[in-house]
């Protein structure tokens, strides 16, 4: 029994080492793929542009990099941004942290440790051309010390302690008076992130200064504590904090309350409260999130003026009506395609459809009509790739979109909701540029599509 336990534990440890080795090999393949595309952009970019410095205002090298990221995204079903980030990590670690990278290839170090080391180096110029020869030598020696120390620690201590040691070692790489400059650099990357969660919930995260975060937490806590003392209040302090922050951020009850249009798809039977979860049951869906509960759907349909409501047939799920005050042919097409696909139709891309362009699969200038059978939501980055690189796209009658890569790989996107409506083509009197159809959100794409 003891021997069996020992063998099982050894197998678990060996599997972790092998997983580290495989991930290192994968990231190294990312790095090499981007290097090849950079050296030979003609592999992806159209022949008539491969000697030009740019295509459509975008450098040819960048188009090639986007192409590699898109193809790997389709092959691995990972976001293109994730692919590019990991390829960058591999390139920087391979060049500047060769000892830690070697430990990663051997399976001793994990990708999390490599990431921690690279995050620690963020903001430090690794090749500053303004350094004197003496300063450059000192910087190189400090970087070597940093690399050697972390390579020796990899796989021997918990990740939080590894990060802490990396932060301490960083102090040897730049003078103490650069602390403020580092904070200013980090502060420029502040952002808000929305992450869907199960059961009709979601997370909102803010990456802001520690001081601002403490102020926000203190104010919401103080307000929530005051509310908790009111007669009849049954919410917990956590619930009160969340509700308070939500009211503040949405402007609830104020003249500046949020007016953003959000699409919610509601089966007709949901409105009559006659649905029974089970076989054939279709829940309501919030655009960009997914299914929500019936009670919330009915409440939003009745009381939320900032939601665009699409009612669907209980049998076919095809749209029956749109808000009558907003009905126009091209608007209806956009709304239907948002509902039909949900995201950008390039396989692997998760950009919401309502933030994407409407691409004519057969260009308008080549006779392609402006109707739902010839339009597909395509994010601006992938829209650009389709027109300036060797990728091409096809569509089947059931709405399945297939992307074909220059290397011969194919990947498909199937509609999230079937049964597109039958609507006649919208034929403008004067044909516009065939790719300027886009969702009416000027704050997202203020300029016309550049093709």
Give tens-digit pLDDT for 347-371: 999 998 888 998 888 886 777 777 8
**In this model, does residue 4 exceed pLDDT 70?**
yes
What integer is the mean pLDDT of 34-62? Answer: 80
Q: Residue 89 — pLDDT band, cuts 50, 70, 90?
A: very high
- pLDDT computed for residue 401 by the predictor: 96
How far is the C-alpha of 382 from the C-alpha of 96, rounded, in Å?
Answer: 32
Structure confidence by residue, pLDDT tens digits, 394-435:
999 999 999 999 999 999 999 987 654 444 444 443 444 444
**In this model, does residue 2 exceed pLDDT 70?**
yes
Q: What share of the chain has pLDDT > 70, as a percent?
A: 71
Q: Residue 12 — pLDDT band, cuts 50, 70, 90?
A: very high
DSSP 13-43: HHHHHHHHHHHHHHHHHHHHHHHHHHH-GGG
294 closest CA partner among 313, 273, 309, 280: 273
**In this model, does residue 447 exceed pLDDT 50?**
no
CB burial of residue 137 (10 Å; 0-12, 13-18, 19+): exposed
Q: Residue 449 — pLDDT band, cuts 50, 70, 90?
A: very low
How far is the C-alpha of 170 from the C-alpha of 173, rounded, in Å?
Answer: 5
Q: What share of the chain has pLDDT > 90, as a percent?
A: 46
What integer is the mean pLDDT of 153-181? Answer: 83
- Element (H or E) spanning 201, and its range? strand 201-207
**In this model, does residue 176 exceed pLDDT 80?**
no
**In this model, does residue 220 exceed pLDDT 60?**
yes
- pLDDT computed for residue 417 by the predictor: 77
Q: Residue 320 — pLDDT band, cuts 50, 70, 90?
A: very low
Who wins on pLDDT, 429 or 161? 161
How far is the C-alpha of 178 from the C-alpha of 301, rounded, in Å?
Answer: 54
Which letter does DSSP use for residue 77 in this model?
A: T
**In this model, does residue 443 exceed pLDDT 80?**
no
Who wins on pLDDT, 400 or 302? 400
Structure confidence by residue, pLDDT tens digits, 243-276:
999 999 888 888 777 655 555 565 555 555 555 5
Who wins on pLDDT, 204 or 285? 204
**In this model, does residue 437 exceed pLDDT 50?**
no
- pLDDT computed for residue 323 by the predictor: 41
Q: Residue 374 — pLDDT band, cuts 50, 70, 90?
A: confident
Q: Residue 373 — pLDDT band, cuts 50, 70, 90?
A: confident
How far is the C-alpha of 396 from the C-alpha of 412, rounded, in Å?
Answer: 10
Least confident of 120-129, 196-205, 314-323: 314-323
Strands 319-322 and 307-312: antiparallel
How far is the C-alpha of 350 from the C-alpha of 359, rounded, in Å?
Answer: 16
């Amino acid at each position: 029994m003891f021997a069996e336990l020992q063998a099982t534990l050894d197998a678990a440890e060996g599997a972790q080492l092998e997983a580290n080795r495989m991930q290192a090999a994968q990231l190294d393949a990312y790095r090499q793929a981007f290097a090849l595309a950079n050296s030979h952009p003609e592999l992806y970019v159209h022949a008539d542009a491969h000697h030009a410095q740019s295509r459509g205002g975008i450098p040819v090298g960048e188009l090639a990099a986007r192409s590699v990221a898109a193809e790997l995204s389709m092959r691995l079903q990972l976001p293109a941004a994730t692919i590019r980030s990991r390829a960058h990590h591999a390139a920087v670690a391979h060049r500047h942290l060769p000892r830690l990278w070697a430990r990663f290839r051997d399976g001793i170090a994990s990708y999390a440790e490599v990431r921690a080391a690279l995050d620690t180096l963020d903001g430090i110029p690794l090749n500053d051309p303004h350094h004197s020869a003496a300063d450059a030598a000192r910087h190189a020696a400090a970087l070597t010390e940093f690399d050697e120390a972390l390579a020796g620690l990899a796989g021997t201590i918990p990740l939080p302690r590894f990060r802490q040691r990396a932060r301490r070692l960083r102090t040897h790489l730049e003078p103490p008076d650069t602390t403020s400059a580092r904070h200013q650099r980090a502060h420029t990357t502040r952002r808000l992130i929305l992450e869907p969660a199960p059961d009709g919930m979601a997370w909102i995260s803010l990456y802001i200064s520690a001081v601002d975060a403490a102020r926000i937490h203190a104010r919401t806590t103080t307000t929530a504590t005051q509310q908790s003392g009111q007669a009849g209040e049954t919410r917990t302090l956590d619930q009160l904090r969340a509700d308070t922050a939500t009211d503040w951020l949405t402007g609830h009850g104020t003249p500046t309350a949020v007016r953003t249009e959000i699409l919610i798809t509601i089966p007709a039977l949901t409105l009559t409260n006659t649905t029974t979860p089970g076989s054939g049951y279709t829940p309501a869906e919030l655009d960009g999130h997914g299914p929500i509960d019936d009670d919330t759907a009915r409440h939003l349909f009745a009381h939320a003026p900032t939601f665009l409501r699409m009612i669907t047939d209980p049998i076919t799920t095809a749209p029956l009506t749109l808000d009558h005050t907003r009905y126009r042919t091209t608007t209806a097409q956009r709304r239907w395609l948002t509902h039909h696909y949900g995201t950008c139709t390039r396989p692997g891309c998760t950009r919401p459809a309502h933030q994407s362009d409407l691409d004519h699969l057969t260009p308008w200038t080549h006779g392609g009509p402006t109707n739902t059978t010839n339009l597909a939501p395509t994010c601006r980055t992938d829209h650009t790739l389709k027109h300036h690189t060797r990728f091409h796209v096809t569509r089947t009658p059931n709405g399945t979109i297939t992307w074909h890569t220059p290397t011969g790989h194919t990947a498909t996107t199937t509609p999230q909701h079937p049964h597109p409506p039958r609507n006649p083509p919208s034929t403008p009197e004067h044909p516009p540029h065939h790719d300027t159809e886009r969702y009416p959100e000027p704050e997202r794409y203020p300029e016309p599509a550049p093709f």
